[in-house]
Amino acid sequence: MEPLKKAKKFKGPQGPVVLVILDGVGIGTCAEGDVVSRANTPTLDWLAQNALAAKLKAHGTAVGMPSDADMGNSEIGHNAIGCGRVFAQGARLVNESIESRALFEGDVWKELIENVGQHDSRLHFIGLFSDGNVHSHIDHLEDMLAEAKNQGVKKACVHILLDGRDVPPTSALEYVDRLENFLSALKAGSDIDFAIASGGGRMQITMDRYQANWGMVERGWKTHVLGEGRTFSSARKAIETLRRENPDVIDQDLPPFVIAQDKADNAPLGPIEENDSIIFFNFRGDRAIEISMAFEQAKFDKFSRGPKLNVKYAGMMQYDGDALIPQKYLVNPPGIDRTVGEYLVKAGVRQLAISETQKFGHVTYFFNGNRSGKFDASLEDYVEVPSDMVPFEQRPWMKAAEITDKVVEAISGGEYRFIRLNYANGDMVGHTGITQAVEIAVETVDLCLARLVRAVKKAKGILVVSADHGNADDMYECNYKTGEVVYDEKTGKPKSRTAHSLNPVFAYVYAPGGSIKMKLSNHKDLSISSLAATCLTLLGFEPPEDYTPSIVEISA
């Protein structure tokens, strides 16, 4: 890659350029559900008046999703921010691979199918069970089940991870009924045995990330692989029973369950056994890595797996290209290169990346184009602040203060020219659907942001504040044509929304004291991918020509 060129008229500020990503804090369009606007945010209000301000797209085709009906997410958001361009992302890549049949004609798919045919064994599918299109899509699952039948697979099991996070919070039965009807039609007139075998909420089993809670993965292993746990006659029966026992629970928090094949002995319908094939059908990587490690690693010490099974395992994509996790995958991930971090290392710029555990991989792995590790350890420091192991709504301030302490120290220390950080509060608390907690989360971040403004001002740096997508700005189901909230017929209260929004996000660029003459660029309809060129411009470099243009121009 060609090195960055230094700008002719501007060498960068005296202090650091600090990029603050307010995860899940967007610009609401439905007033009643917009907790960001409802919250007390004097710092954001002040920036709106005293900084250069722009709106950026953070969803749909502007960040590499298949259509503008698709919400953005933290993975592709940080990809876009970090690499400064828009790459076709997981959902679109899988769609194209299925439509072209490249997935089914690939060596990995053929190997999995041949394995179950040779051993008369089962083909298993594990993954997030919804059409949220953030980690997975039920369409992909159904396409693979149909193709498996066409290629002679007789036995298949589906292990469903209930969503309620990227889709409405209690929508699981809609997807269960859809899949059961699909399987019934698939089995009509044939002798195949395809069925749902186990399940549970995505925040209870299997889908941990950043090795924050291996107990989740262990519970998933016992549920899917060993068939251990509370048994039910069907997935619908399991969900209805668990909801009746705890009426306040939402899908993502439902306990694990196992489907029994026989009422008499409660034997599990579909545990994973010797010579089976397994597909983890999530295309997004962060919550797929640990379960992949459990299936693949010969030496594994995170929990007791029981006897190592001789199985064929594949992910929908390769979730970590550096660590080669998993070894086998169905669709090639986006080939992201020439990220901001790599360019700055080549230019000798010292950098700090920091967040708490919940988003640590986003300011490192995803920001660096799905790359593990550092480009140059002598020029990069990555700081992870361990997240608390409590429900987010019970501690909505999370680790924002601790992150701020370290960033304020780094700003004043003068060691770094570029600092990037993520406050996870707006997104992680937003996913709970509890608006009181979300309001506290937003106000917490605003309070911390005030400290960063003061520190940047003192150091004569530049502050860039934006987000990767919306969430806290859209906490109620809304009729977007009329702007009216949708109410629950039973409770009379607004229907809670836990998914990301389709709203734009703000971008504030603040240079204290007006010492740097800059203005908004003339480019229209920019997305969050423009933040990369913006930061390079503010650091005194000319962004690469193929980067999305900067939102600011330096005039002197």
Other beta carbons within 10 Å of 218: 19
* The residue type at 56: L
**Has 74 been annotated as catalytic?**
yes
* The residue type at 414: G
- b/e map 286-312, b = 16+ CB within 10 Å: bbbbbbbbbbbeeeeeeeebeeeeebb
C-alpha distances out from residue 77 to 317, 386, 433, 464, 535, Å: 18, 22, 21, 16, 16
Strand pairing class (312-317; 329-331):
parallel
Location of structure tokens 């991930």: 333
Question: In this structure, are residues 272 and 311 in contact, taking their beta carbons and an 8 Å threshold?
Answer: yes
Burial class (CB in 10 A: 0-12, 13-18, 19+), 513: exposed
Element (H, E) at 111: helix 107-119
* The residue type at 438: V
Distance, CA of 478 to CA of 36 (rounded, Å): 16
Location of structure tokens 């989740």: 216
∠ Cα 383 387 291 (to 5°)? 95
Select which of 37, 74, 234, 501 is catalytic. Answer: 74
Q: How many CA atoms lie within 13 A of 36 on its CB side?
A: 29
Q: Return phi, psi of residue 129, to 5°.
A: -110, 85
Distance, CA of 532 to CA of 418 (rounded, Å): 12
Contacts of 396 (CB under 8 A, 6+ apart): 425, 429, 437, 438, 440, 441, 444
Distance, CA of 175 to CA of 161 (rounded, Å): 11
Report the phi/psi class of residue 369: left, alpha or beta, with left for phi > 0 and alpha for psi in -120 to 50: left
* The residue type at 423: Y
Burial class (CB in 10 A: 0-12, 13-18, 19+), 139: middle
Tokens of 451: 């400290």
DSSP-derived secondary structure letter, 65: -
DSSP, collapsed to helix, strand or coil, labels residue 470 as strand
C-alpha distances out from residue 264 to 223, 231, 260, 417, Å: 20, 12, 9, 67
Strands across the sheet containing 52-56: 52-56, 505-510, 462-466, 17-22, 418-423, 351-356, 380-385
Q: What is the DSSP string of 367-387?
A: TTTS--S-S-TTTEEEEEEPP
Active site residues: 74
